[in-house]
Amino acid sequence: MSVAHDSTVIVGAQWGDEGKGKIVDFLADKADVVVRFNGGNNAGHTVKADGKTFKLHIIPSGVVRKKLIVIANGMVVDPEVLLEEIGMLKEMGYEPNLAISEKAHVIMHYHKLFDSGSDKNGKIGTTGRGIGPAYSDKAKRTEALRVIDLVSGGFRAKMEKILEDKKGELLKFGIVRSAEEFKEYKTAIAEEYENYADSLRPYVSNTAVLINDALDSGKNVLFEGAQGTLLDVDHGTYPYVTSSSTCAGGVCTGAGIGPGKIKKVIGVTKAYTTRVGEGPFPTELKGKEGDVLREAGSEYGTTTGRPRRCGWLDLVVLKYAKMVNGLTGLAVTKLDVLSGLEKIKICIAYEIDGKRTEHFPSSAEALEKAKPVYVEMRGWDKWNEREAEEIVKKGVKGLPENARKYLEFIETHVGVPISIVSIGPGRDETIVV
C-alpha cells in the first residue's frame, strides 16, 4: 500500500530559459529523487552553487545536491553528450547517482546531421542537436532505437537495418556518397555507439518502476521540465516549438506516473520575458530597452550561446500557462534585473485586428498581429550585495515597496500565488514566500 508522498512538477511558464535550473537546485535540497521527463540536450540549465557554475544539458539540476537523478523515458539521449556531462561532473567532484530509462530514445549521429541540414534557413530555429529527427523516428516506430536496444546484444543488427532504410536520406544530405562510404559509415557508427553502451550500461534501468516505488514509499520526488509552456509541441506557438511535451501533462507520459500522483505544479517565470530563435513575441523590445535587459540579465543561451530576445512581462502568457499546466504556484526569477528601471510595463491583454482579448491565440499568425496592452508601474532602486542579504533575511517584506507591488499585481492578475522569488543567481539569493 502506498503512503503519503510529496511530488512537485517544475515547468517553464514562458518560452523556456526562465531559470528552472536554479529553482530545481533550490528545491532539490528537500527532495529524494529528481526526474527529468522531456527533451534532450537542446535544453540548458545553469546552476551556481558551492562557488562553481554548472552548465547542464541532459542531467537534471538536482545532481548538484547529490540526489538520485533520473533521465526518464520521455527524453531523447545523445550518449556522447551525456558521457561528456558525466565526466565534467566527476571532475568537479560530483559523482552522479544516475538512472537512465531503458525506454528513452537514442539520438544517433545522423539525427544531428539531418537536423542541421533540414533548417538551413532558420525557419524554426532548431538547435541542430538532433532532437526533432529523433522524436520523428520515435513517432514513426520502425526507425528508432531506444536505450534498451543500445545496451542489448541486438543493437548492431537493428541499427544496420534502420540505416538501410535511411540510405536515401544519407545520400541526400551528403553524409555518404557511395556504397563503399555507406559500408564504412555503418561500421564506424556501430563501433562508436557500442563503446557508448559499455559506459552507460551500469546506469540503465526501468525508471518508471523506480519512480513509482519512490512515490509509493512516501519519498519526495521533484520533476524537472525542459524548455517552456509556449514551446510545447501541442500547446506552444506551433510550429515554433520543440518536439516534446513541455507542460505538466508531459510528466505522466514522460516519466510513467499517473496524474493522481502529482501534488504541486510550479510554473517558473522571469520577471520579464525572453525567447530564443524564431517566432512571434508580442512584448519584444527591439533596440536600447531590449539591450538593457539582455545585458543586465546575461541573456545568452546556455546551449547555443545565442542572444535571447527580451521584452516586458506578458501576463496573457502566464494566465495561459496557468490553464494548461494547472499551476498551483509561481516562482519569479531575475527580479533583480528590473532594479534601477524608472518605469516598468506589464502586458495584460492583446489587441488583434482591432479587438481586445486576454486569451492566448492558437495560431502563430494571430500572435504575430497581437499588439500588447500595457499597464505601467513605477520601478525601484537597485540593491547591492549587502542589501540583498538583508532582503532574503526579511523575506518579501524586505523588498522595495514598488517591487512588492509588482509581484502583487502579477499574483492577483494571474490568480496563482507566488511561492518563490529569486533576486540573484545564487542559492542564497532566494526568497520562499
Domain's final residue, options 156, 187, 202: 202
45 given a catalytic annotation: yes
| Same structural domain, 238 and 167 | no
Look at residue 227 in the predicted model and tell me its pLDDT: 93
Tell me, yes or no, whether 253 and 321 share the same domain: yes
Last residue of a domain, one of 150, 180, 202: 202
Same domain, 160 and 245: no
Q: Both 158 and 233 in a single domain?
A: no
Residue whose C-alpha cell reads 541526400 in the numeric block: 172
The per-residue DSSP string of 187-214 comes to HHHHHHHHHHHHHHGGGEE-HHHHHHHH
Taking every pair of Cα atoms in the chain, the longest distance, rounded to a whole number of angstroms, is 71
Residue 288 is part of which domain span? 6-91+206-432
Written as nine digits, the cell of 120 is: 538551413
Of the candidates 202, 236, 268, which is a domain's last residue? 202
Q: How many domains does the chain have?
A: 2
Identify the DSSP state of 38: S
The answer to the question of residue 171 being in a domain is: yes
Distance of CA 405 to the CA centre of its chain: 29
pLDDT for the residue numbered 301? 77
Question: How far does Cα 207 stand from its chain's mean position?
Answer: 20
Whether residue 51 is found in the same domain as residue 110? no
Query: Which residue of the set 17, 78, 115, 314 is catalytic?
Result: 17
157 and 258 co-located in one domain: no
Tens-digit pLDDT string for the chain (433 aa): 556 678 999 999 999 999 998 999 999 999 999 999 999 998 777 777 777 888 889 999 888 888 999 999 999 999 999 999 999 999 998 889 999 999 999 999 999 999 876 555 456 566 788 999 999 999 999 889 999 999 998 899 999 999 999 999 999 888 999 999 999 999 999 999 999 999 999 999 999 999 999 999 999 999 999 999 999 999 999 999 999 999 999 999 999 999 999 999 999 999 999 998 889 999 999 988 899 999 999 998 766 778 999 999 999 999 999 999 999 999 999 999 999 999 999 999 999 999 999 999 999 999 999 999 999 999 999 998 889 999 999 999 999 999 999 999 999 999 999 999 999 988 889 999 8
Task: Single out the catalytic residue among 32, 45, 78, 314.
Answer: 45
Question: How far apart are the C-alpha atoms of 336 and 379, rounded to whole Å?
Answer: 11
Domain-embedded: residue 99: no
Residue 100 lies in a domain: no
Cα separation, 30 vs 47, whole angstroms: 17
Specify if 145 maps to a domain.
Answer: yes
Cα angle value 152/57/195 (rounded, 5°): 30
Question: In this structure, is residue 1 part of a structural domain?
Answer: no
Domain CATH code at residue 251? 3.90.170.10
- What local confidence, expressed as pLDDT, does residue 126 receive? 66
Cross-strand pairs, 330: 267, 418
The phi-psi region of residue 316 (left if phi > 0; otherwise alpha if psi is between -120 and 50; otherwise beta) is alpha
Looking at the structure, do residues 295 and 387 belong to the same domain, yes or no?
yes
Give domain status of residue 37, yes or no.
Answer: yes
Question: Could you tell me if residue 97 is inside a domain?
Answer: no
Do 261 and 350 lie in one domain? The reply is: yes
pTM here is 0.93
Q: Tell me, what DSSP letter sits at residue 75?
A: B
Same structural domain, 371 and 421: yes
Same domain, 181 and 222: no
Shared domain check, 196 and 264 = no
Q: Would you call 12 helix, strand, or coil by DSSP?
A: strand
Considering the domain architecture, whether residues 222 and 322 belong to the same structural domain is answered as yes
Least Cα distance to 420 among 274, 290, 266 occurs for 266
Within-domain flag for 96: no
CATH number at residue 136: 1.10.300.10
d(CA 104, CA 79): 11
CA–CA gap between residue 98 and residue 107 (Å, rounded): 19
- In Å, how far are 32, 90, 357 from 83, measured between CA atoms? 23, 11, 48
